[in-house]
Amino acid sequence: MKRIAESTVRRLSLYLGFLEDINRRGTTTVSSEELAKLGGTTSAQVRKDLSLFGSFGKRGLGYSVTELLERLRRIMGLERRWRVCIIGAGKIGAALAQYEGFSQRGFDVVAVYDSNPARVGEALGDLHVRDVAFFERDAESEKFDIAVLAIPARGAQKMAERVARAGIAAILNFVPGQLTAPPKVAMRTVNMAMELEALSFALTNRD
Amino acid sequence: MKRIAESTVRRLSLYLGFLEDINRRGTTTVSSEELAKLGGTTSAQVRKDLSLFGSFGKRGLGYSVTELLERLRRIMGLERRWRVCIIGAGKIGAALAQYEGFSQRGFDVVAVYDSNPARVGEALGDLHVRDVAFFERDAESEKFDIAVLAIPARGAQKMAERVARAGIAAILNFVPGQLTAPPKVAMRTVNMAMELEALSFALTNRD
DNA sequence: TGGAGCTTGTGAAATCATTCACAAACTTAT
DNA sequence: ATAAGTTTGTGAATGATTTCACAAGCTCCA
């Protein structure tokens, strides 16, 4: 299959959210035009995005909501649940550990680690913070799919490499600083400072 | 000045981070090739990005770290400090309110709001959670530049419009669901579920 | 001073992403 | 059964972004 652009994946995820809403409302059919309007894009864009994976619609009618939901879930790999561990139990890590949005979307946070002895043992929702020294041992037995990195920049690269060596192929990166994804590891970065700076730029350079 | 692509702004922010590091190390000069290597891009890209704003380098030598730092700060609007309010004192909002990274980068969190009476009055670092009913009154006197929206999807669109009406022209959006930026408002969205879904996609569709 | 060696700045080319536009295929109503 | 009205799927056109490639300008050293 040909390479799918990041922007496309983003939109697929959006469409999936819309379809879930639409489905809850009981509507059974949806057109590319309706999805486009919800997502602030064009109907041609929606059709192009979907056509990369096959041809799911009916001319003259649109798409079956349940079928498209099913197809998109399969495309996105969301038919199964994913096991997530969080590394770093500071403010951000702790908030993420207790964020219900993850499990609603199919991601189960099954472990939280920290290197600070003062935090180890602390309860976060159902979980207790574990010593990161046990990370490799646990990764072996608990088969984490995704690691969320919520630690300071110092030492983060080393930790990312430990994650990769432990066989985890995906990282969600909240580290405030430069981090290079180890080879073969999919990484998505959320950098709050960068987002704020983009707003600063927009406020400064608007006409 | 011509429109600057979002991807360019992202990279400028990255370069700025690198330059701060480099400057701390005491290095006085840097080449586009070095910046490129740090940022995982090409030297031509770096030069193109910078050339959109002028010509800051010296052929044969590279860029003066302090000068480029100064120029980038000005371009990004980071010579001043920005006043940020956070709306929503749940897990995410509370974590953001206490995140030191913001003030380090020039963004001062000066107020936190919530609509839940149980949370109003609660201390978060130096701040106390205020009732969102007072938001418009405060916005008038406290001149917020940026609003961070960390509330549930339900009611978020209304809140975004209140923000816009209060004269705030930039929103950092953590709302887990669809939100449309009001006219004339710059908005950046951080959607954790979407990032995880992108990882799910990558894990599912890797070769 | 002059030549070797770098590195910038930038048109031109290549690549990548979005939008257009329309035939084909379906639905619905009569 | 037919006609009118929709909506898909997709090549082709357009637009945007990245990469190439190289002249021009600077440093450094002899």
Q: How many domains does chain A have?
A: 2
Residues A76-111: b if buried by 16+ CB within 10 A, e if exposed: bbbeeebbbbbbbbbbbbbbbbbbebbeebbbebbb
Structural domain span for residue A176: 82-194
> What residues form DSSP beta bridges with A63?
A30
CB contact under 8 A, B205 and A94: no
pLDDT at A163: 98
Say if residue A137 is in the same domain as residue A54: no
* Disruptive mutation site among B200, B204, B205, B207 for chain A (greatest number of A CBs within 10 Å): B200
User: How many Å does it take to go from CA B74 to C1' D23?
Assistant: 31
**Would A53 be classed as within a structural domain?**
yes
Say if residue B90 is in the same domain as residue B69: no
| Boundary-marking domain end, from A76, A98, A129 | A76
Say if residue A63 is in the same domain as residue A125: no
Say if residue A69 is in the same domain as residue A20: yes
**Would A88 be classed as within a structural domain?**
yes
Q: What is the CATH number of the domain that holds A88?
A: 3.40.50.720
**Would A199 be classed as within a structural domain?**
no
pLDDT at A92: 95
- pLDDT tens readout for residues A161-192: 999 999 999 999 999 999 999 999 999 999 99
CB contact under 8 A, A205 and B4: yes
Q: Which residues between 107 and 126 in chain B have a beta carbon less than 8 angstroms from any beta carbon of chain A?
A: 107
> Residue B206: pLDDT band by 50, 70, 90 thresholds?
confident
**Would B115 be classed as within a structural domain?**
yes
| Boundary-marking domain end, from A14, A45, A76 | A76
pLDDT at B175: 96
**Would A207 be classed as within a structural domain?**
no
Q: State the alpha helices, DSSP H only, in chain B.
A: 6-24, 32-39, 43-51, 65-76, 91-97, 101-104, 135-142, 156-165, 192-205
pLDDT at A100: 87
Say if residue B63 is in the same domain as residue B135: no
- pLDDT tens readout for residues B138-186: 999 999 999 999 999 999 999 999 999 999 999 999 999 999 999 999 9
A105 touches chain B (CB under 8 A): yes
Strands, E assignment, A3-157: 29-30, 63-64, 82-87, 107-114, 123-124, 127-131, 146-149
Say if residue A68 is in the same domain as residue A117: no
Of B4, B10, B107, the CB nearest to A196: B107
**Would B200 be classed as within a structural domain?**
no
The CA distance from B168 to the nearest CA of chain A, in Å, is 10
Q: Which residues between 52 and 91 in chain B have a beta carbon less than 8 angstroms from any beta carbon of chain A?
A: 75-78, 82, 84, 91
CB contact under 8 A, B77 and A204: yes
**Would B201 be classed as within a structural domain?**
no
| Boundary-marking domain end, from B60, B76, B92 | B76
Q: Which nucleotide is nearest to B33 (CA to C1')?
A: C7
pLDDT at A2: 78
3-state SS assignment for residue B195: helix
- pLDDT tens readout for residues B51-67: 999 999 999 999 999 99
pLDDT at B203: 98
Q: Which nucleotide is nearest to B50 (CA to C1')?
A: C9
The CA distance from B63 to the nearest CA of chain A, in Å, is 20
Question: Is residue A200 within 8 Å of B77, Cβ to Cβ?
Answer: yes
Say if residue A31 is in the same domain as residue A111: no
> To the nearest whole percent, how much of chain A has pLDDT over 90?
96
The CA distance from B87 to the nearest CA of chain A, in Å, is 15
Say if residue B87 is in the same domain as residue B175: yes
Q: Which nucleotide is nearest to B44 (CA to C1')?
A: D19
Say if residue A72 is in the same domain as residue A108: no
A170 touches chain B (CB under 8 A): yes
Say if residue A86 is in the same domain as residue A60: no
Mean pLDDT value of segment A180-206: 96
* Disruptive mutation site among B103, B196, B204, B206 for chain A (greatest number of A CBs within 10 Å): B196
Say if residue B42 is in the same domain as residue B119: no
Say if residue B150 is in the same domain as residue B93: yes
Among A192, A92, A119, which Cα is nearest to B189's? A192
Of A10, A40, A171, the CB nearest to B180: A40
- pLDDT tens readout for residues A45-83: 999 999 999 999 999 999 999 999 999 999 999 999 999
Q: What is the CATH number of the domain that holds B10?
A: 1.10.10.10
